[in-house]
Amino acid sequence: MINPFFKNHGPFKIRKILDLIENSAHLKNENSKVHDIKDLILSTSKDITFLHSKKYSNSASITKASFCVTTNSLKHFLPATCSPIIVENVLLSVSLITKAFYPDSINDEFDNTVKEITKTNFKKKTRHGKNILIGKNVKIGKNCSIGHNTIIEKNVIIGNNCSIGSNVIIRNTIIKDNVFILDGCVIGKKGFGFFPNNKRNIRYPQIGIVLIEDNSEIGCGSTIDRGSISNTVIGKNTFLDNQIHIAHNVKIGNNCIIAGQVGFAGSSIISDNVMIGGQAGISGHIKVGNKVQIGGGSGVIKDIEDNSKVMGYPAKNLREFIKENK
């Protein structure tokens, strides 16, 4: 899918990318062009990707990308069709490459294309409150309502039968049918991605989107960051309570129920039919299996198998937790 929110300034020759990241290596195919940077799974033969952890070795082994930014210790996970570009700091190099493809992704400035809804075609096509701003090329389906003081920025897509509350900001987002976004939500802003630096922290470009699938509900005051390279996804028929934070690249499956003030760190994966109690914390780059139940206040710091019931910090088997806390 072509990114509707950020302009791609590619393609670039591999030689130019090597120069950009100050890599003096000479590759046989360095005059080849790459058209985009994508994650290991979504990459095509026209793309460049990256591998920074052996946790993603399975994805690396089947990537279709022609080039991969990685380290010397990880390059053996790549298929023969993918040429490794060896660097010391993968994520820093990827940050520079991403910025070259999508220079506008660093900033989250306000959308100056917005107009009062009363001056757009949505004046009669939606039920709406007062002081609503709509950006250029926004698409809104049938039978939708929008609350007071809400901003829907350029290129956002909203499906049929959706309800958008008051004081909501939506950007870089695609919302499917029958979705409820309650008051005070901020969806699609850049995530908390940066490289610590003593003089000035370096922000990581965020070029992904937020995708909210059919029949889902996002509770009051919740924040959902857009993806960095891949997308942040909320599955079908998933209900989020109030004041939940979802970081970049998080994937939440179908039919999940998540209570208030739960926090998801970046790139965590929540499978289908998961229930999570209030104020639980989910660490980044972990996977929670299908039909898992996580007790309130738990801290999940490693993968959880299907059908597990866990609680505590760190989260452990529920029976074990109860036995230890009698």
* CATH code that applies to domain 12-105: 3.40.1390.10
- pLDDT of 320: 81
Kindly report, residue by residue over 106-128, the tens digit of the pLDDT: 888 899 999 999 999 999 999 99
- pLDDT of 325: 76
| Averaged pLDDT, 85-110 | 91
- pLDDT of 280: 98
Kindly report, residue by residue over 264-281, the tens digit of the pLDDT: 999 999 999 999 999 999
The answer to whether 137 touches 174, Cβ cutoff 8 Å, is no
More confident residue, 326 or 162: 162
- In which band, very low, low, confident or very high, does the pLDDT at 105 lie, cut at 50, 70 and 90? confident
How do 180-181 and 163-164 pair as beta strands?
Answer: parallel
- pLDDT of 193: 83
Kindly report, residue by residue over 34-83, the tens digit of the pLDDT: 999 999 999 999 999 999 999 999 999 999 999 999 999 999 999 999 99
- In which band, very low, low, confident or very high, does the pLDDT at 203 lie, cut at 50, 70 and 90? confident
Kindly report, residue by residue over 206-265, the tens digit of the pLDDT: 999 999 999 999 999 999 999 999 999 999 999 999 999 999 999 999 999 999 999 999
Kindly report, residue by residue over 157-200, the tens digit of the pLDDT: 999 999 999 999 999 999 999 999 999 999 999 988 887 777 88
- pLDDT of 209: 96
CB atoms within 10 A of CB 13: 15
Class of domain 115-324: mainly beta
- pLDDT of 39: 95
> Which structure tokens are listed for 253?
């499956």
- pLDDT of 1: 63
For residue 162, give every residue at least 6 positions away whose Cβ sits within 8 Å of its Cβ, in sequence order, or none.
140, 141, 144, 145, 175, 177, 178, 179, 180, 181
**Among 162, 120, 168, residue whose Cα is nearest residue 145:** 162
For the chain, residues classed under CATH 3.40.1390.10 are 12-105
For the chain, residues classed under CATH 2.160.10.10 are 115-324
Burial class (CB in 10 A: 0-12, 13-18, 19+), 28: exposed
Catalytic residue numbers?
248
- pLDDT of 28: 85
